[in-house]
Structure 1
Amino acid sequence: MASGGRLNPESDNFENRPTFYIGQHDSNRFEPLTEEQYNQVLNSGFRFVTAPITNEHFFKRVVDLHREYLQEREQWAREHGISDSQSTNPSLPGPVVPTLTDKDTSLGPCHYIGSLVCYSSPWIDLCSADPHISSISRQVLNLEAAYANFCGARTIVVPGPRQDESGRGIAQYARAIKEVMQVASRTNIVVHMPMYREPGLEENLETLSDIFGPEKGPEANAKKEIDLFSAWDSWNAIRSVCNYSMRLLLALRIPRRVPEKSLQERWFAEPLHFLTIGQAIFQLNRAGHPSLSRHHQDMINRYMRLRNVPWLVLCDVGPSPEELAALSDKLTSEFPTLAEASQALGDSRRPQSLALNAHVGYMRYLERQQPPFSAMESPALTSFQDWLQPPLQPLADNLESATYEVFEGDPVKYDQYEKAITEAMTEWRELKKPTSSATPENPSNPELIVTVAGAGRGPLVTRVLRAAERTGTPIQLWAVEKNQDAYVYLLRKNQTEWANQVTVVKTDMRGWEGPRLRGREDIIAKVDILVTELLGSFGDNELSPECLDGIQHHIARPHGISIPHSYTAHLSPISTPRLFADISSRVVGDPNAFETPWVVRLFAIDYVSQNVPGHPRFQQAWEFVHPVEINRADDFAAKHGKAVRYATAGVGSMSGSSGTNEHNARHCHLTFVCPTRGVIHGLAGFFESVLYSSQTGAGKEPVEISILPNQIDRKSKDMISWFPIFFPLKKPLYFPQDTELEVSMWRQTDDTRVWYEWLVEVYAWVEPNTRIKVGASELHSSRKVACLM
């Protein structure tokens, strides 16, 4: 991927950093702002504001409705001689909230309704154990959401559950959210959740349960041990009931005390739409201005790197309703004269809201202090974050020139290849290896025979020529390419750039007869150095092993070299709600979506496992090494005296195959340790490759490339040619804390195609030497979308 258009990292241009979109929320605001007040809030530095959908009149009407219902129920109980009004006939009708009236809301359609974030009533309690209160709350939410939807609101924020202990309450809440998404079919529903249950972080307003419930004793306020992941558990239950809807988003309340990294990364993977920051989170610096701790700054900077940058909402930091009301009194005339307006704006006693809000000013400062975008955060690369792409099938399909051009836009990969080729040529001379160009007539011919197989548009050919010139190595260079359109490009490039130094051959590398010596075309020689770039995101997923099997018999033995020399595949289980929701939306048109290994630049994800001795977060699945001394096809032909394509299929290996590609099948079983509970949506796949390893025994570092997150900066920093691969699960797999995830994966083949199968199991320890299986995915298979050989 070309990174074009990236600004100078040293520039102070705001465009080279994420932009803060800052809004204002006042928990004591019970009426939407007038247009004049709204404009004044914008003048104080904010970009948007929240608006309550209903007002205090509606709140009192609902409270009176429920109070009347309770009185009627008590009266009915007395008339029937029942001492406990709670034991009344369950078939008696409960309270029904009438529709809204003009007195219940001041919100209405207006030209700036799209800039308002509608906030539902925080006094409802969808989780209440009282069925009537939960029913009233659900009715209120539906009425408010329907009216906001009618007015044209784009976003409705719903206060999240205030407790996580009640499984019944969370289920009620989740069902209500799913219902309201049907009621407000054109808006996004945003659930406002705390990062964790930090004391004092919840809404301050009393709920219906507080008003009508029993008085709470001192034990209700007793300090309890804080479960850091309980709020996330509630959110996970809510979005699971809503089937990971793309319209269900999250507003995350930032705490005073920043939690551990594992919890930060868990929320990082969720569909964040707002980060809300209360007044109590800010601290006063030495100059008396609001500021945030370094931990808060780092966390916000991290979250602002998401492709869909979350908006920031500052809560209860002004301008207050009183200040806005005072301002309205100053400008009493709808159309003040210039003198009146000037006097109002120039008054030294003007409300603070007319100046830049101090908290907004600090956030703008923080915006400028963010680290600039790196080379890996260019607009082009950012657009690929969490974007699903089906894997390439270069054997079955001929690639277009634009696709080749994308590959060629990565200088890091080709620099590493050139370094590997240079070292190989240098050591060939040092070790005084023979060359395959030698003949009885010219036994001392020093020319190396080098072949680039799968040459594409020729970037590796150019690097081979450059390495040969740098080392002073005479070579005979062959470029083999099956794509007839790329073949035309190579022929023209050979004339215009390579001075006809290259012999270009159009053929599938597996059917190539081998290089013919320059000046002795009757002699088919061997290849001294074979160079290929057939690697995929999982190393072998674009059939590099099968392709090299078909050409490796041309490599000179025992001294011939394959670049790359080896490659390994690696796995790690991940949580990625965004990708799961995306794949779920594709199933109708693509029934194999959940059994397709997707190429994707993973970003908004959480690596759920931890590094523990013997069980790292990223584990090797298998390895391929080239050249192979002999492959199954060669062995078959030697024993039976006929080509593989005439072999009779059987069932001894894979059903329907003769087993000639069985040596390229693989299997792994890996164990990942998860100290905290969570959910996984699939497996992230990566690869590493040793392009060339020194043969002199001098202890040189091998020349490598890697896309492993913990190795890429060390081995091939800023390499962008490959994104990771993602093996999804059809259903999210929940696991409790202190569990082990057992991952089984197979690379399968039937001699005509290659596919993967994967399975994840969850085990929990119940005793020091005993563990039980508590969950498992089904066995997934990509056989229906297999790579064709």
Structure 2
Amino acid sequence: MASGGDLNPESPDYESGERRRPRLVLGQHDSGRTETLTAVQYKIIKDAGFDFATAPITNLQFYQRVLELYQSHLQEREDWVQKRGLKPSQIANPSLPGPVVPTLTNKDTSYHPNSSSYGGNDPVAYSSPWIDLASTDPVISNISRQVFNIEVAYAAFCGATSIIVPGPRSDENAKGVLQYARAIQEAFKVAPKLNLVIHMPMYREPGLDETAKTLSSIFAKSDVASNSGDIDLFTAWDSWNTIRTVCRYTNRLFVSLRIPRRVPEVDLQDRWFAEPLHYLTIAKSVFQTNKAGHPSLSRHHQDMINRYMRHKHTPWMFLTDVGPWFETPSRRSSDATVVEFPTIAQAEDKVKAMHKKNKANEAILKRNNMYPYVAYMRYLERQQPPYSAMETEQLLWFQDLLQSPLQPLSDNLESATYETFEQDPVKYERYETAIAEAMTEWRELNKPTSSATAKNPSSRELIVAVAGAGRGPLVTRALRAAERTGTAIQLWALEKNQNAYVYLLRQNESEWNNQVTVVKTDMRAWEGPRVKGEEEVITKVDILVSELLGSFGDNELSPECLDGIQNHIARPHGISVPSSYTAHLSPICAPRLYSDVGHKSLSDPNAFVTPWVSRLFAIDFVAAQKVPGHPRFQQAWEFVHPVEVSREDDFAAKHGRAAKFTTIGGGSMAGSSGINDHNSRQCHLKFVCRTRGVMHGLAGYFESVLYASQIPDSKKEPVEISILPDQIDRKCKDMTSWFPIFFPLRKPLYFPQDSELEVSMWRQTDDTRVWYEWIVEAYACVGENKRIKFGSSDMHSSRNIACLM
């Protein structure tokens, strides 16, 4: 990839590639603009290559009215103090009524419903940067809130779908941030259908905030603390977290992120990546000038933007203060505006003069209709890495989409569901490799075969069974493995779904040349394979193949299913593919997922105790990497097959079939016989968090060993599959059959830096169903060997929606 620093956007190399890449929607924002662009000006912006522009909701005339209102209030308060002979330092009566901002007039705004004037693409509403919702002065904060509500209500009336709102200027004033958050929450009630986008800096880099003076800085001591010494990178995120927490994670709240001149550490980039990004904003000061004199961004900026653009809903971008300029009152110095306080008549004169000078701007752009900043951003768009095999339109659509886990034992899947799974060639290639290696080593180790009988003791045909065959992809792979290794087999396909059974029969006739014995049965009720030519003889299975794994390994009851059939596996040499699988957990910050679960909880009381399957994407792993003994992804438990257990048949032989439904021992789950207790599991894991943050739930993954060499001292790598983020590319790159699982917390758990999160989870069963229970405890390190517990989640249990056996 060529460096943006050496590119001339007008060169012949400035051509787009053929492979699909994220689309960059580019907007223009002028921080000093106080009038909505006219239709002619908006056309100039569009001709310059921008897709949209921002527009202030109110103008300088309204600003002047608010200033005069506040000045009048100050004068009235001073008169009240003097009249009573009080000292100026004495507090006036707090019960005195404050100023009330009057309603808008047609001269207070040039923003109005006029989609046709802009070709159906309205400017994006931008709230006034001079109001101060976080002011410590109660009068200023009250006026600011009134102005904000007026602007929100009017923008909603005009048909705006969202408003960009400048965020608080300081993070140190906790009271002010809470006050700001409350004002945002109130605005959602003023306009029930409007989205609000908070314009926040990535961190408090000097010069990254709004430049317009606030009411507080004009009339009172500034509320904004000076940034001295080291900058705490996470304070801006803390303020954002406070705002969205107060607003209860509403899905109508988004963030517009100001990109700094200096790209921060990856931990902060990851944190913002997980947030609901609507816009990325880049000021003119962030751009560099390359050798050819053209604007460009550093490689670190390019990499960060490219990563943020991989979201399903890609954030839009707008450039701040890069032009093209228009001669409007908005281009005046902010200091001059504060000092002179132009009258309404003066402001009107400025607006009239503006129209005469805009024609010159239009003529310039006609000579070069591709603005240099836009040209560079379009180049950057084409230089993004193309979408990979894991970023098809279908997989992008599944990003952070909540899905209820499958219950294959109690539900019959549809053909389309099977077909979706079958589109993953990686999984089936790994299965074929595992089966082929098992067959090869069977011959090398000279193992006996279950097809050998008293009548035919020399038979070398392997008995292979595919349990839960579905539409037969594993059957096809087993046949291929037998062919490529030259192994004679007798193949059985078991499927309880009567509809899939019909499909398997058709496949056997049309594709498998009737080599397969298809049986409609629940694998747990199967009587076992019968030897070909000696159908009266029931024998054992040499290789049992299944794909019963879920996102957490065991969450679709693979252990229980295999328990019911593994008594048919030949002992001691029989093989199960897979031979083992492990479940893994990691705490995550996932505000989008939490918001979606909260929305579902309005109609589903079990939403926060449901383990949701989701292609986790907009998340931040809050646990530190490479902490000795406490990695980011930790194993919860393991299942191994086949395993010697007291199976249901053994239990029935001892106690009778009816005893299964009675309580035999006091130590088992109440009302159960305890025959599935060996599949219960529990874990207690500790994760170390170096930076402060908030946890919304647990991400669950699995790994599985399909086949490990049985030759003594063999150095062969086991055949594995994995969905662990740090292992999937090494073990089964581009496998798409399984998405991770998300165990939500009912309430987000905030933690400071250098915290430890301890996760306890149980896999529970009562012989008829399986469910999970989980709780998280948070500890702060207060000394070298001392810590205190400062928080804990509720105990969550999915028992009400347990997976039925």
Q: Name the TM tier (shorter chain).
A: over 0.9
Counterpart in 2 of 1:63? 67
Shift of the 152–224 alpha-carbon distance from structure 1 to 2, 3 Å rule, reads same
Residue in structure 1 matching 2:157, options 121, 146, 150: 150
- Is contact 2:131-2:215 (8 Å) kept? yes
Hey, what's the Cα distance between the residues in 2 that align with 1:440 and 1:502? 24
The one-letter code matched in structure 2 to 1:497 is E
How is 1:174-573 mapped onto 2 (pairs within 5 angstroms)? Answer: 174-214=181-221, 221=226, 223-322=228-327, 328-329=355-356, 350=364, 355-573=369-587
Hey, what's the Cα distance between the residues in 2 that align with 1:70 and 1:14? 64
Hey, what's the Cα distance between the residues in 2 that align with 1:678 and 1:740? 12
- Is contact 1:29-1:321 (8 Å) kept? no
- Is contact 2:216-2:222 (8 Å) kept? no
Residue in structure 1 matching 2:723, options 704, 707, 714: 707
Shift of the 407–644 alpha-carbon distance from structure 1 to 2, 3 Å rule, reads farther
Counterpart in 2 of 1:586? 600
Hey, what's the Cα distance between the residues in 1 that align with 2:438 and 2:46? 64
Query: In the TM superposition, what is the alpha-carbon distance from 1:650 to its structure 2 partner?
Result: 5.4
The one-letter code matched in structure 2 to 1:141 is F
The one-letter code matched in structure 1 to 2:62 is F
- Is contact 1:44-1:353 (8 Å) kept? no
Query: In the TM superposition, what is the alpha-carbon distance from 1:355 to its structure 2 partner?
Result: 2.7
Counterpart in 2 of 1:27? 31
The one-letter code matched in structure 1 to 2:356 is D
- Is contact 2:745-2:796 (8 Å) kept? yes
The one-letter code matched in structure 2 to 1:299 is M
SS in 2 for 1:467: helix
- Is contact 1:568-1:623 (8 Å) kept? yes
Shift of the 207–352 alpha-carbon distance from structure 1 to 2, 3 Å rule, reads farther
The one-letter code matched in structure 2 to 1:675 is R
Report the identity percentage: 68
Shift of the 656–81 alpha-carbon distance from structure 1 to 2, 3 Å rule, reads same
Hey, what's the Cα distance between the residues in 2 that align with 1:651 and 1:23? 69
Query: In the TM superposition, what is the alpha-carbon distance from 1:222 to its structure 2 partner?
Result: 6.5
Query: In the TM superposition, what is the alpha-carbon distance from 1:353 to its structure 2 partner?
Result: 8.8
Counterpart in 2 of 1:164? 171
Counterpart in 1 of 2:684? 669
Residue in structure 1 matching 2:93, options 89, 96, 99: 89
Hey, what's the Cα distance between the residues in 2 that align with 1:346 and 1:16? 34
SS in 2 for 1:689: strand
Counterpart in 2 of 1:760? 776
SS in 1 for 2:327: helix
Shift of the 353–156 alpha-carbon distance from structure 1 to 2, 3 Å rule, reads farther
SS in 2 for 1:375: coil
- Is contact 1:632-1:663 (8 Å) kept? no
SS in 2 for 1:62: helix
Hey, what's the Cα distance between the residues in 2 that align with 1:99 and 1:364? 42
Residue deviations 1:192-251, cap 9 Å, x none?
A: 0000000111111111001111379xx965623211000000000000111111111110
Query: In the TM superposition, what is the alpha-carbon distance from 1:327 to its structure 2 partner?
Result: 9.1
Shift of the 211–520 alpha-carbon distance from structure 1 to 2, 3 Å rule, reads same
Query: In the TM superposition, what is the alpha-carbon distance from 1:651 to its structure 2 partner?
Result: 4.2
SS in 2 for 1:16: coil
Residue in structure 2 matching 1:680, options 695, 708, 722: 695
Query: In the TM superposition, what is the alpha-carbon distance from 1:733 to its structure 2 partner?
Result: 0.8
Residue in structure 1 matching 2:638, options 609, 623, 631: 623
SS in 2 for 1:193: strand
- Is contact 2:47-2:365 (8 Å) kept? no
Query: In the TM superposition, what is the alpha-carbon distance from 1:352 to its structure 2 partner?
Result: 7.8
The one-letter code matched in structure 2 to 1:781 is S
- Is contact 2:44-2:362 (8 Å) kept? no
Bigger drift between 433-442 and 292-301 goes to: 433-442
Query: In the TM superposition, what is the alpha-carbon distance from 1:767 to its structure 2 partner?
Result: 1.8
SS in 1 for 2:544: strand
Counterpart in 2 of 1:107? 111
Query: In the TM superposition, what is the alpha-carbon distance from 1:185 to its structure 2 partner?
Result: 2.1
Alignment partner of 1:44 is 2:44: no
- Is contact 1:164-1:231 (8 Å) kept? yes
Hey, what's the Cα distance between the residues in 1 that align with 2:105 and 2:450? 92
Shift of the 444–232 alpha-carbon distance from structure 1 to 2, 3 Å rule, reads same
Hey, what's the Cα distance between the residues in 1 that align with 2:175 and 2:657? 69
Alignment partner of 1:595 is 2:600: no
Shift of the 256–706 alpha-carbon distance from structure 1 to 2, 3 Å rule, reads same
Query: In the TM superposition, what is the alpha-carbon distance from 1:167 to its structure 2 partner?
Result: 1.1
Hey, what's the Cα distance between the residues in 1 that align with 2:661 and 2:403? 36
SS in 1 for 2:390: helix
Hey, what's the Cα distance between the residues in 2 that align with 1:488 and 1:557? 33
Query: In the TM superposition, what is the alpha-carbon distance from 1:640 to its structure 2 partner?
Result: 3.4
- Is contact 2:274-2:590 (8 Å) kept? yes
Query: In the TM superposition, what is the alpha-carbon distance from 1:322 to its structure 2 partner?
Result: 2.5
Superposition CA RMSD, Å: 1.9
SS in 2 for 1:61: helix
Shift of the 223–745 alpha-carbon distance from structure 1 to 2, 3 Å rule, reads same
Hey, what's the Cα distance between the residues in 2 that align with 1:614 and 1:721? 30
- Is contact 2:263-2:300 (8 Å) kept? yes
SS in 1 for 2:695: strand
SS in 2 for 1:87: coil
The one-letter code matched in structure 2 to 1:38 is Y
Residue in structure 2 matching 1:120, options 109, 127, 150: 127
The one-letter code matched in structure 2 to 1:255 is P
Bigger drift between 531-540 and 63-72 goes to: 63-72
So what's the TM-score if we normalise by structure 2? 0.92
- Is contact 2:400-2:616 (8 Å) kept? yes
Counterpart in 2 of 1:16? 20
Hey, what's the Cα distance between the residues in 2 that align with 1:145 and 1:642? 69
- Is contact 1:14-1:368 (8 Å) kept? no
Shift of the 265–782 alpha-carbon distance from structure 1 to 2, 3 Å rule, reads same
Counterpart in 2 of 1:135? 142
- Is contact 1:437-1:448 (8 Å) kept? yes
- Is contact 2:769-2:803 (8 Å) kept? yes
Shift of the 86–378 alpha-carbon distance from structure 1 to 2, 3 Å rule, reads farther
Hey, what's the Cα distance between the residues in 2 that align with 1:421 and 1:656? 41
Shift of the 525–351 alpha-carbon distance from structure 1 to 2, 3 Å rule, reads closer
Hey, what's the Cα distance between the residues in 1 that align with 2:124 and 2:144? 20
Alignment partner of 1:746 is 2:762: yes
The one-letter code matched in structure 1 to 2:318 is V
Unmatched tracts of structure 1, length 5 or more: 1-10, 333-343
Hey, what's the Cα distance between the residues in 2 that align with 1:331 and 1:538? 62
